[in-house]
Chain A
Amino acid sequence: MTTEVGSDTDVKKEPEKVPEVQQQTDQPDEPADSAASASADQPQEESQSAEAKSDQEASPSPEPSSPPAAGGQKKEKGISRFLPPWLKRQKSQSQDKPDESSAPPKQESVEVVKEEQEETNQPKEEVDGGGAVTTSTEQTEEVKEVREESRAEELQPEEKEREEEKSIGSADTQPVREEKEDESEMEEKEEEKKEEEKKEEGKKEEEKKEEGKKEEEKKEEGKKEEEKKEGKKEEEQVIQQEASVLSTLKVNKKMKMVVCHVTLLDGSQFSCEVEKRAKGQYLFFQVCDHLNLLEKDYFGLSFKDNAEQRCWLDVTKEIKRQIRNSQWQFVFSVKFYPPDPSQLTEDITRYLLCLQLRQDIASGRLPCSFVTHALLGSYTLQGELGDHDPEEHRLDYISDFQFAPNQTKELEEKVVELHKSHRGMTPAQADAQFLENAKKLSMYGVDLHHAKDSEGVDIMLGVCSNGLLIYKDRLRINRFAWPKILKISYKRSNFYIKIRPGEAEQFESTVGFKLPNHRAAKRVWKVCVEHHTFFRLVSPEQPTKTKFLTLGSKFRYSGRTQAQTRQASSLIDRPAPAFQRTSSKRISRSLDGAPVVNVSDYSQADGAGENSPALELNSDSKSQQVEVMERPNADAATSITSETAFETDGAGAPQRKSKLRVQGENIYVRHSNLMLEDLDKTQEDVLKHQASISELKRSFMEATPEPRPSQWDKHLTGSPATTLRLQTHGVPQNTPPRPGTDSRDASKSAEVKPEGNEVIEVVEETVVIEEVVKAKPKSSTPEASVPVETEVKEERSLSSDSESEDEAEYHAQPPSTSISTQQIKEEPEEEQEAELSQQAPPSAIESQPSAEAADPGPAAEEEKAAQPHEEERTDKPLLTPDEAPNGHAPQGEAPPSPQTAAADEEEPHIVNGSASRVETEHLPQVICCSEPPVVKTEMVTISDTFAAQKTEISTKEVPIVHTETKTITYEAAQLDGNGDGEPGVLMTAQTITSESLCTTTTTHITKTLKGGQSETRIEKRIVITGDSDIDHDQALAQAIKEAKEQHPDMSVTRVVVHKETELAEDED
């Protein structure tokens, strides 16, 4: 705690220093508009501080003070900043692009900050506390990295680092550092990885030395802070001193050693001294060496985090960062249960698996019938004791073994009876028999996580080698095999899987589950990613190597897959190692020890559920803190409504990088090609990706010839960031065969959060973005030919939490209509199909409504052109927003004229542009009026738990608060060829509400059939809730940008800004 206090003070100090630092760091990376950045600086600070607060869960008190001050400024800037960031993009950016590509996509300094924070949050939340605090060095590291590229020498960066540090004042800059920490972390880690790997190969000692001063310095600092957290006063003092002296003293502190305690499968303890900065790998290998285990890929180390949750130690990352303040206490256990243990090469591996399963069984994690308990127990006896010896083996000889959670005399008798029948069986044979039977158990290798379905009903998510299983009580109510899963993602405490449409279904659906908290959601996600990779892929996907990557969670399983490990183990050429069985070591101990281990292990599986409450506190606390802080600010009652109508091209949207990050977070796309990781890819890689993407498209599109590749190519070839984008986007867009119809259920269950945010939330901003989707050439999907209107309504409350942004993804896919209800969808699908067959010319870019038929080639050109245009656009919108804020334009609809004009100009270039026109006019009114201030929305999770049943529920509660409300609507001036006025035939209508701690997103997807053309209209309502602490303008801009990016095929036809401010009365 002492440390945290320190950090708090740092936070306060930061505002002053932060801007400088950021600018320094940002400049290289972010070509973004100066204006935006300038305006953004404060927001950054604020957000940072807020983030920092949220991150530092333990230290709420000091922080609150800082944000309010900043908040006041924000408000003033408020609307002016609204759309600016993305709208403002100027051509200069395009020039800068190369840089951007290399660097993480940062359009807006603000965005960058947020995202970075997000990233930082994740690691912290996930694993460790260290991250938040560690920093002074890291910040500089980022800069370093940038420079490194150019210079490629570490020394120089170091120097710079130091210089910077000095200038900045090392300790004070913490918050800033935090932000960058993510990046730096990633980068660091990668670097470290390489280095460490080398080192590991060599000698460990050397390793440390080799790391070099700079790393050490960084590490040292990190350590110092971490150490502080640990509460080791001795070190703290030293560290603090060092911190003050920083650069000079760092060197001295290398190589601190820590003793790790590892509980092995037989219950024994293994202790091992590791360097404090060592990665998990080191420890893991130590343990495996100790065990003489070669087939180690099935195993892992786990630890308990602060919330007593079992977490797997990521071997590629520093131990310290993961365990945070927790003890250096680990458990060695089976991570991937081989479906067929007989294919394991070595008996010792099987034996270890047996030990794990005995634990699983004794703890009840692996349920068995009586007979099975008896049978497996008898093999255990045979394996451990050999043949039954009537002389030596009385009944009590087995009392030391635990065969079942509730071991009865009857069971023991049965075990003995069966044991007698195994006479002559060798231990290895007994183990093999044990495994042959255990593997058949339905819960074998199923990693269970508590969750809730759409109705708040407790369910269990079971991750196993085959896929994801859904249980209610002991009943399996659904199953999603890996091949059926297109994408895995999590946002906040929600976990989503995107399902490949079945034979009869033509649309993807997304199923959401509510986990007890964010960490639990991420944990499930990680486990899924790992299991999928391990069991389903031949080789792991390449981890992201981008140094500047800011994407959310880049986590990927980087170990060997089962296929690889099998191959590797087939090469094992050593005499079967002799190993001691527990019985020979200590008969009674082996199983006795197990229970202890079980607890920890069990927690892994169940941890999410059981421990969740504790976890919740952590994750939720953030939001709470933030909110609390916000309140005071909220008092200032300012109501500003600005509506902005603008058109967005699909093409333009994709190129925004900021979005990429958002999507990137937490999303795991099944197909390696589509993975987000490849920022660094070279052109060749990009091309490969493209090829793979096109394959995907083909597969998805059933016989539909490839849509114009040109656009894809362009995107792909563009800056790395662009590539990413495509990859992320590509999946959603391409995957849905008939995009128009797909709607996803991002449903969420009521959040468990104790906070009761609803009442607390003071200021809300609602951004309604209507997008008209034109058949996009990009979307290879057949629907492209069909003009589709999509209204996207997003309700989003921006919280400090970056992760909220993830939602965008789901909504992003306009085509995807979540069909949890198959029945509903069926009709529309058929219709679409017909259309598709006619209209789906492979190469043709179909924007029927627009009548712009762009050839692939031209399209590409257009895209290029589009960017500049977009930038232009952004500028224009800026103008309007500025006006609005200044005037605090009352509810009147702001004349869209400037925007419109811009839009018109742009349109020609934009492929989709024409489509956008169509819908624009209609939308505004509908959207504007429709939404009352939404304070909070109950979350409902729609899950397909029953294949046959689907439930959507959304409830909105409007708290009674005195508020001022102003609404401004901007509409795109463009006229619709189709005319919205046409009633059309309603094909489908869906409402999806999703909510996370601070975010409420409501998406209405309406599909109508007009004159033979299907329109998809997506209305997104984004509720941004918070005080002045939150930069609403920025948030709004971000939201709009995201919406655009999410639905590149669509155009934004209307933006309604509804600002509600709680009146002074509420100030208490």
Chain B
Amino acid sequence: MAELMSGFGCFTHAMVRAVPQSLARDALRSGGLEVDLLKVQEEYEEYVSVLKHRLGLEVLELPADEALPDCVFVEDAAVVCGDTALVCRPGAQSRRRETEAVKAALTELGLNIVEMTDESATLEGGDVLFTGREFFVGLSKRTNQRGAEILADTFKDYAVSTVPVQDALHLKSFCSMAGPGLIAIGSSEAAQKALKIMQQMSDHRYDKLTLPDDSAANCIYMNLPSKGDVLLHCTPEEFPESAKVFEKLKDHMLIPVTNQEKAKVDGGLTCCSVLINMKKNI
């Protein structure tokens, strides 16, 4: 029976984008750290491999664009929910053009494309948390109210609540969905505050999975036909304490994925892909 808002975490496709050489030097970062390009590429390949081979997703890989050092973080370029894709307007000027290739690819997939034409609006996918029942949009340096409004107009079925984001690049820098109704959240004050706001704003109840490290709270949940609950999360090498927390999720198929190098340019696990469900639900 066709039903709205069902099948959270069901994905058939993943869109990724290759790592440009320019990332090491030009990618935006808050930490000012040196980035080992090779390691980034290794991580990327591992990431893609997991999606493609372990999980069996259809991986759509876009070529890197040297003019867009951050283009690997494709998540920020589009928000896909159901059969509708909202092409974002990144708050970072240097990233605006990332959306072009992404839009083309999404169009190719046959999704309904919605573009943000409002020049005053900014929105990056990293600020958009979709819980399955509603959206939370972080109001950050990269995303503004107008951007959130457009997202709300695009996905009319869902409540769209805004959450101020402080001390972090994106909303999903410290949180993500770790399962249906389960929010993975960092321990920092900013993260906890954001969680409180989200809880207050929501008509739905969420469980929370609190992780010692904010960055570790960025994980990828999927519900795949043959695999059940799948969770891509940080490695013990990176965040030993947080990894232990993930390991308590007995029902999940846990897949640690290295993200150490990309984290230096503020990249999380979710940042590197746009997950799409092309299976006709309705």
Interface 1/0 per residue, A493-504 and B, CB below 8 Å:
000000000101
> A440 contacts B164, CB within 8 Å?
no
| Residues on B with beta carbons closer than 8 Å to the beta carbon of A367 | 156-157
Interface 1/0 per residue, B73-114 and A, CB below 8 Å:
000000000111000000000000000000000000000100
| Least CB separation from B158: chain A residue | A442
Is B193 in contact with chain A by the CB < 8 A criterion? yes
Is A476 in contact with chain B by the CB < 8 A criterion? yes
Q: How far is the CB of A394 from chain B (nearest CB, A)?
A: 23
Interface 1/0 per residue, A939-977 and B, CB below 8 Å:
000000011110000000000000000000000000000
> B160 contacts A372, CB within 8 Å?
no
CA A765 to CA B196, docked complex, whole Å: 45
Is A441 in contact with chain B by the CB < 8 A criterion? yes
> B164 contacts A948, CB within 8 Å?
yes
| Residues on B with beta carbons closer than 8 Å to the beta carbon of A442 | 134, 157-160
Interface size class of B (residues with CB under 8 A): 35 or more
Of B5, B160, B201, the contact of A479 (CB 8 Å cutoff): B201
Is A839 in contact with chain B by the CB < 8 A criterion? no
| Residues on B with beta carbons closer than 8 Å to the beta carbon of A481 | 200
Of A372, A504, A949, the contact of B164 (CB 8 Å cutoff): A949
Is A473 in contact with chain B by the CB < 8 A criterion? yes
Q: How far is the CB of B208 from chain A (nearest CB, A)?
A: 14
> A474 contacts B201, CB within 8 Å?
no
> A474 contacts B282, CB within 8 Å?
no
| Residues on B with beta carbons closer than 8 Å to the beta carbon of A948 | 164, 166, 193, 197
Interface residues of B in 1-41 (CB under 8 A from A): 1-5
Is B152 in contact with chain A by the CB < 8 A criterion? yes
Is B202 in contact with chain A by the CB < 8 A criterion? yes
Of B1, B152, B202, the contact of A473 (CB 8 Å cutoff): B152
Is chain A's interface secondary structure helix, strand, loop, or mixed overall? mixed
| Residues on B with beta carbons closer than 8 Å to the beta carbon of A369 | 82, 84, 155-157
Is A374 in contact with chain B by the CB < 8 A criterion? yes
Q: How far is the CB of A437 from chain B (nearest CB, A)?
A: 5
Interface 1/0 per residue, A413-441 and B, CB below 8 Å:
00000100100000000000100110011
| Residues on B with beta carbons closer than 8 Å to the beta carbon of A475 | 137, 145, 148-149, 152, 160-162
CA A477 to CA B160, docked complex, whole Å: 9
> A476 contacts B160, CB within 8 Å?
yes
Q: How far is the CB of B93 from chain A (nearest CB, A)?
A: 24
CA A436 to CA B3, docked complex, whole Å: 8
| Least CB separation from B5: chain A residue | A440
Is B66 in contact with chain A by the CB < 8 A criterion? no
Is A298 in contact with chain B by the CB < 8 A criterion? no
| Residues on B with beta carbons closer than 8 Å to the beta carbon of A371 | 4, 82-84, 157, 282
| Residues on B with beta carbons closer than 8 Å to the beta carbon of A270 | none
CA A466 to CA B1, docked complex, whole Å: 28
> A476 contacts B82, CB within 8 Å?
no
Is A368 in contact with chain B by the CB < 8 A criterion? yes
Of A375, A473, A949, the contact of B149 (CB 8 Å cutoff): A473
Is B203 in contact with chain A by the CB < 8 A criterion? yes
Interface size class of A (residues with CB under 8 A): 20 to 34
| Residues on B with beta carbons closer than 8 Å to the beta carbon of A466 | 203
Which of B82, B159, B200 is most buried by chain A, counting CB atoms within 10 A of its CB?
B159
Is A328 in contact with chain B by the CB < 8 A criterion? no
| Residues on A with beta carbons closer than 8 Å to the beta carbon of B42 | none
Q: How far is the CB of B218 from chain A (nearest CB, A)?
A: 22
Which of A370, A504, A949 is most buried by chain B, counting CB atoms within 10 A of its CB?
A370
| Residues on A with beta carbons closer than 8 Å to the beta carbon of B196 | 502, 504, 947
CA A466 to CA B159, docked complex, whole Å: 14
Interface 1/0 per residue, B118-147 and A, CB below 8 Å:
000000000000000110010000000100
Interface 1/0 per residue, A472-494 and B, CB below 8 Å:
11111111010010000000000
Which of B4, B161, B200 is most buried by chain A, counting CB atoms within 10 A of its CB?
B4
Is B153 in contact with chain A by the CB < 8 A criterion? yes
CA A473 to CA B146, docked complex, whole Å: 10
CA A502 to CA B196, docked complex, whole Å: 10
> B282 contacts A375, CB within 8 Å?
yes
Interface 1/0 per residue, A355-390 and B, CB below 8 Å:
000000000000111111011000000000000000
> B203 contacts A372, CB within 8 Å?
no
> A437 contacts B200, CB within 8 Å?
no
| Residues on B with beta carbons closer than 8 Å to the beta carbon of A418 | 2, 282
Q: How far is the CB of B129 from chain A (nearest CB, A)?
A: 14
> A479 contacts B203, CB within 8 Å?
yes
| Residues on B with beta carbons closer than 8 Å to the beta carbon of A368 | 156-157
Interface residues of A in 428-477 (CB under 8 A from B): 433, 436-437, 440-442, 466, 472-477
Q: How far is the CB of A547 from chain B (nearest CB, A)?
A: 42
CA A481 to CA B205, docked complex, whole Å: 12
> A476 contacts B83, CB within 8 Å?
no
| Residues on A with beta carbons closer than 8 Å to the beta carbon of B145 | 472, 475
Beyond A479-B200, A947-B197, is A437–B160 a contact (Cβ under 8 Å)? Answer: no
Q: How far is the CB of B33 from chain A (nearest CB, A)?
A: 29
CA A504 to CA B197, docked complex, whole Å: 12
Interface 1/0 per residue, B149-187 and A, CB below 8 Å:
100110111111110101000000000000000000000
Q: Which residues of A contact B (CB under 8 A)?
A: 367-372, 374-375, 418, 421, 433, 436-437, 440-442, 466, 472-479, 481, 484, 502, 504, 946-949
- A–B Cβ pairs within 8 angstroms, 20 of them: A369-B156, A375-B4, A433-B1, A436-B3, A440-B133, A442-B157, A442-B160, A466-B203, A474-B160, A475-B148, A475-B149, A475-B162, A476-B161, A477-B161, A478-B200, A479-B201, A504-B196, A946-B162, A947-B196, A947-B200
10 closest A-B pairs by CB: A442-B159, A474-B152, A367-B156, A476-B161, A948-B164, A437-B4, A479-B201, A947-B197, A473-B149, A369-B157
Given contacts A371-B157, A437-B4, A476-B161, 16 further A-B contacts (CB under 8 A): A371-B84, A371-B282, A372-B4, A372-B156, A375-B2, A375-B4, A421-B2, A440-B4, A441-B4, A473-B152, A475-B162, A476-B201, A478-B200, A479-B202, A947-B197, A948-B164
Q: Which residues of B contact A (CB under 8 A)?
A: 1-5, 82-84, 112, 133-134, 137, 145, 148-149, 152-153, 155-162, 164, 166, 193, 196-197, 200-203, 282
